[in-house]
Structure 1
Amino acid sequence: MPAPVLLFHGLGRTGLSMLPMARALRRAGFEPHVVDYPSRKHAIGALVDDVVAPRVEAVLATADRVHFVTHSLGGVLVRAFAAGRADAGRPLPDGSRAVMLAPPHAGSEVADALGDRLPFRTTLGPALSELGTGDASVPAALGPVRGVEAGVIAGTRALVPFGRLFGGPHDGLVSVASAHAPDGLADRAVVPKTHALMMMSPLVIGLTIRFLETGRFAAPSGA
């Protein structure tokens, strides 16, 4: 039976953004399920409880493990869900893996700059202000990654004018340092890709499939 993979898009996006990844996963022998969820309508905690949890439990009713591929906010949701399950003594089944593309695990400086501005708060919803780097940052308070074997791919190419907000390499919205911040990651990778289009990159897709198959981004020695 093909291993199921749940795909979670980022803030303000739709499941359409994850379709190229889903098609490649199916060709690689996985069973992808794109989750199109209302990222702009609810806070992070509500999205974890009302979107992630029921979809995972539904998959695990018929499968012995579950994988994830996430973009941006989606990675924070899966990290929070997996941590909560682990803390409750119910970690995800052994062999469950997650590839997180450009997740703001330590928050985003862009969220700091835009989160209190009414047009952006109205358009992107309550999760935006929760993704900052300050004391109210939800992802920064989650602690080490636990409950799932996770790898993070961060980008270093920017197409949006927020470069002055960052003190190091970034993809326009999330810094490499933030994406790679948590302890407990199984592997980390950096690619010359932008935040908005990372999930459609053949390079990123290939790295994602390799991690789901092997638990590492690098090819095995001699491969």
Structure 2
Amino acid sequence: MPDPVLLLHGLGRTGLSMMPLARALRRAGFSPHVVDYPSRRRTVQALVEIVLAPRVNALLAGGAGREPAARVHFVTHSLGGVVVRAFAAGRYDRGRPLPEGSRAVMLAPPHGGSEVADALRARRPFPSVLGPALGQLGTDAASVPNALGDVRGIEAGVIAGTGTRLPFGRLFAGPHDGLVSVASAHAPGGLADAIVLPPSHSTIMWSSEVIRQTVQFLRAGRFDLA
């Protein structure tokens, strides 16, 4: 049975943004499942409990002619990485723990929060347009990603970007992808591996090199740095 891979898009995006990755994962022998979730209408906790946990639990339980999955992998963009990190750590009620060997590739996750979220979460119309998760992704110590601590419960690799197509450069003190800094993406301890590649935040999931590195990590637990 091919290992299932749940793909979670970023804040304000849809599952369509993850389709190129899903097609590549299918060609590589995985069983991709694109999760089109209401990123603009729910908190991180609700996304864990209502969206992610039921899907993972169903894959691990099997049934309806399916064998139980031996492990479950994830590929995430931006907010999706924080949701999976919270789930894997058992921060919220999730049901079954992830089996050993479950892996996640997180693309441009705001693991240390986002300076852009700091700037936008109190400015109209952004809170109403982007929803409650925007207010949870700041760089302050009480933000959801900073309160989670080290990555645990899953083998996680992070790919950060350095493309800067969005007009927020003045908010960052170091390299960034337009919305998330490299330092934030690589912030938590417990990562199995981390690399930096050129794409911007909004296009990182479509990069052929990002896709290649994603497949490599899911297979081996390490990126290809050769």
Q: Name the TM-score, length of structure 2 as normaliser.
A: 0.94
* C-alpha separation in 2, matches of 1:137 and 1:116: 14
The root-mean-square deviation of aligned C-alpha atoms, in Å, is 1.7
- Answer yes or no: is the 8 Å Cα contact 1:154–1:189 preserved in 2: yes
* C-alpha separation in 1, matches of 2:174 and 2:213: 23
* C-alpha separation in 2, matches of 1:160 and 1:88: 35
Deviations 1:166-206 (A, max 9, x none): 00000000000000000000000100010001001100000
* Runs of 4 or more above 2 Å deviation: 85-91
Tell me the residue number matched to 1:155.
161
| Percent of paired sites with the same residue | 72
What is the correspondence of 1:176-195 to structure 2 with a 5 Å cutoff? 176-195=182-201
* C-alpha separation in 1, matches of 2:87 and 2:56: 9
Do residues 43 (structure 1) and 43 (structure 2) align?
A: yes
1:60 deviates by 1.0
Tell me the residue number matched to 1:7.
7
Name the SS for the 1:105 alignment partner: coil
1:10 deviates by 0.3
What is the correspondence of 1:30-179 to structure 2 with a 5 Å cutoff? 30-61=30-61, 62-84=68-90, 91-179=97-185
Shift in alpha-carbon separation, 1:86–1:54, aligned structure 2, 3 A:
closer
* C-alpha separation in 2, matches of 1:210 and 1:191: 15
Q: Name the TM-score, length of structure 1 as normaliser.
A: 0.95
* C-alpha separation in 2, matches of 1:23 and 1:124: 28
1:33 deviates by 0.1
1:92 deviates by 1.1
* C-alpha separation in 2, matches of 1:33 and 1:87: 22
Structure 2 residue runs of 5 or longer lacking an equivalent are 62-67
Deviations 1:87-139 (A, max 9, x none): 99964101100000000000000000000112000100000010011143100
Shift in alpha-carbon separation, 1:85–1:143, aligned structure 2, 3 A:
closer
How many residues in Structure 1 have an aligned counterpart in Structure 2? 220
Shift in alpha-carbon separation, 1:89–1:17, aligned structure 2, 3 A:
closer
1:85 deviates by 6.8
Tell me the residue number matched to 2:64.
none
Moved more, 32-41 or 134-143: 134-143
Shift in alpha-carbon separation, 1:85–1:137, aligned structure 2, 3 A:
closer
